[in-house]
Structure 1
């Protein structure tokens, strides 16, 4: 009877990195430069460039993008924790990070 090693089964990811950040704080400076540098190095990076309306729920496409990312970079800024959207992202990232395939 053959045995299968779970470590040999690897999930394929759409993105290498998911960037989580508060847009109004960092999009046009630090995160913008980080995103461009990662792209320049050939690292497939997800960066949500939509401006999210206050009170809106995290959408399914964003959840899927978090699930489809191998690594996460969370950019904590002054107003990050005041955004329910950012906190929802962070919760989802922490849930995914519990699996061995993801790294925060």
Structure 2
């Protein structure tokens, strides 16, 4: 009685076909990494770079929206914090990293 099926017996000799056999077994793994890079990693890095450039370009008078949803006009720019006027004579300090959007000028007319 034999415990090795014919399918296992046939594939045992084919896997030792040489260096080309080992290369083709890693090809799907390499291909998945390349696809993952172009679909997920590269666009995320591009968004981070755009956000960093937006934060560096913020100046007094710009209108912004924070991650908490507060919209206001920048009155003072510091190294890590920004002072934002959210209503007349109402100012708050916000971390630069909490700013999500730079609005076009004139969007906030009530301030």
> Quick check: which one's strand share is greater?
2
Q: TM-score, normalised by structure 2?
A: 0.20
Of structures 1 and 2, the one with the larger relative CO (CA 8 A, separation 6+) is: 1
Greater Rg by CA: 2
Q: TM-score, normalised by structure 1?
A: 0.20
